[in-house]
Chains A and B, each alone.
Chain A
């Protein structure tokens, strides 16, 4: 088998193999990594996370088998999760489709056809997507197949297993192809600068849509749901239901009422693949030329003649630097969008829960829980991207102009974080609460939410003695699995806290005020702690070297 694969690979054109290898290693953007970054370790942790989810699903399913009437729900959850992961990775690798300025400058003068570059790029991104799909489903596919075989006989195992993988790969290909089609069409139609602006918006919107669909879409639980005419528009609009029907078609378990959905999946898949191929072939050469002619970054609007002053000179400089980097740097924007799409999905959920304007409903646990999640993900997102450098070589200007003590810089970063992260979430929560919630519990929760924002920011900035985006990190060294599980634990604990402590307290003014007092004391304590530490801090722009102690063994 291995020999067949090797023979097949060796028959591919040499230039394709060389380019594919190069692009595969660059699916993770090397410019955001420092010299010592460990890309395979970084990808390994990403894969490990997906494998853990898959193993968890399989183990849970086999240990506590779901009732047969839950199988549709599980199938839709798996398809939705696969589409979510494929969608997120596709959006993250969006910029890899077209050659960047460096590719164009290096490969442009070489006798390599643009078509070959395109194929190698798509193959590299597709390989990563396939890897993600396999990691996410390898254990759960076996687990669900075994469960299905237990009630339908051993022959059903193979059919379920094949149907599962056909569906997962088809749904992934559909989503990736659709995004490529959108990208190819817009690159063909729009001038490059507008295309870049459009790309930025599409990435952010795509994240929000993917999370909103995943978290908010209802499930079809029974054949009666599938046949109900009132849900047909929703079924027709969401690819999750199409591929759910496709899965059941392949598995031989689709009721006749769902056949039109399966057809829609096949047609959608064909359209996505054809659309991506045609649109990219049409626009690729033109885009490659434009990449050389025009800069990657969009210039600011020409009518921007005055720079706003927010606080002192240092505060203004850092706040605007952070804001502009977030808005203009693709890497930062995309990663932040990943977190903010969860915030957005939470916000949509709150809007969804809202009654008609003018009517007041009592405060329920979901409101404080969702707003707390929003705050946590907003702060986490900002903290996650803060160490990603924008241009390490340009940091000399910050060092040469460092005329004030480090604590001034650290304080300016704290204020900027409060202004850019905590304030927007709090204002959104306030707008959604004061319109239709009783004033006292809503006000008390908003006070707690604000203080929680302060506490989270102070925790996030402990030891962060640098200007955001000016110091290198080593993503390969970051333990994403650890971070993921810690975040999950924090969210669970926070939810439990809201349910068991905050929500009951909100019903009693004295308890609520006392709780606000405790939060205020914690927030003030943390602030004092960080300010004291900042007094002896050194602002750093390079990762502190690891201290190696060598034992002489004497």
Chain B
């Protein structure tokens, strides 16, 4: 179980994440939603151990993650928001490097990498340099790298970015399958339709603060709104979207 307790992150005194508290349980997919700049990726980076927090505590299976950060990293897989990869390596070389850094047995990891590349339709391009990959292919490499070591906690920050329809459907099912196998899944996305289908529990963030933390079903009932999109619009969208669109069109016609 992943617990975030009163997490805050301040940049030059400005709160990017402000007193965030929620729990992600094994066997369920926790959706982490919010508009651009609401602090989703910052939170996930803190959970991944990439940035330090200003306040609060992050616990995994009851232990603060920094009590044994290396043991925690062994159990954690992370797909970042942007496909940041070493472009001078090929897809296969990158995954082998990750396996070696994770100290996975060579033969086992080699078979696993081959299998993943085949399933993700990257096998034919495995020896091409990542600089030549499309955005979707890079995303697949990130997903494979995150799951290579069979982690107990999976952090997915916009994992559908750039994926084609087929791959997105595979990933959607994979997220559900991994949750069903008892893994803790924290999943951030702007695709509310996907979140509604995949997640059993959502946390909505706005200006760095949690504005909703419940199951989608309960939120629907409580707010008397039919879809997650409506709930999200009410909680986290401040502007009248139609008016802004009209003003924008007027501006370029002026």
Interface residues of A (CB under 8 A from B): 294-302, 304, 307, 309, 312-314, 316-317, 320-321, 324-325, 328-329, 390-391, 393-394, 396-405
Contacts and interface: CB of A to CB of B under 8 A. Distances in A.
A394 B145 CA distance: 13
A496 B100 CA distance: 45
Contact of A300 (B70, B85, B93, B97): B93
Nearest to B149: A401
Interface string B18-60: 0000000000000000000000000000001110000000000
A325 B89 CA distance: 8
B97 A297 contact: no
A403 B50 contact: no
Interface in B68-94: 70, 73-74, 76, 78, 80, 82, 84-90, 93
Residues of B contacting A: mostly? mixed
A313 B104 contact: yes
6 contacts: A299-B132, A324-B88, A324-B93, A393-B84, A403-B101, A404-B103
B84 A307 contact: no
B102 interface: yes
Given A403-B74, A403-B102, A390 B86 contact: yes
Contacts of A404: 70, 103
B215 interface: no
B88 A329 contact: yes
A398 B101 contact: yes
A393 B80 CA distance: 11
Interface in B103-123: 103-104, 106
Given A296-B131, A300-B127, A398-B101, A403 B70 contact: yes
A297 B87 contact: yes
A502 B13 CA distance: 61
Nearest to A541: B50
Nearest to A395: B84
Nearest to A470: B86
A304 B90 CA distance: 11
B42 to A, nearest CB: 14
Contacts of B96: 307, 317
B51 to A, nearest CB: 10
Nearest to B86: A394
Contacts of A402: 70, 73, 101
Interface residues of B, number: 34
A390 B88 contact: yes
A307 B92 CA distance: 10
Given A397-B98, A398-B101, A400-B48, A297 B86 contact: no
A294 B88 contact: no
Give me the 5 closest cross-chain CB pairs, A-B, nearest first: A317-B100, A295-B132, A313-B100, A401-B101, A393-B84
Contacts of A329: 88
A288 B99 CA distance: 38
Nearest to A401: B101
A295 B91 CA distance: 14
B128 interface: yes
Contacts of B86: 321, 390-391, 394, 397
A271 B165 CA distance: 56
Contacts of A304: 127
A300 to B, nearest CB: 5
Contacts of B93: 300, 307, 320, 324
Given A314-B103, A316-B100, A390-B88, A401 B131 contact: no
Nearest to B142: A397
Contacts of A307: 93, 96
Given A393-B84, A396-B50, A309 B106 contact: yes
Contact of A295 (B101, B102, B131): B131
Contacts of B100: 313-314, 316-317
A403 B102 CA distance: 7
Nearest to B102: A401
B129 A297 contact: yes
B103 A400 contact: no
B122 to A, nearest CB: 13
Contacts of B78: 396, 400
B92 to A, nearest CB: 8
Contacts of B102: 313, 401, 403
Contacts of B82: 393
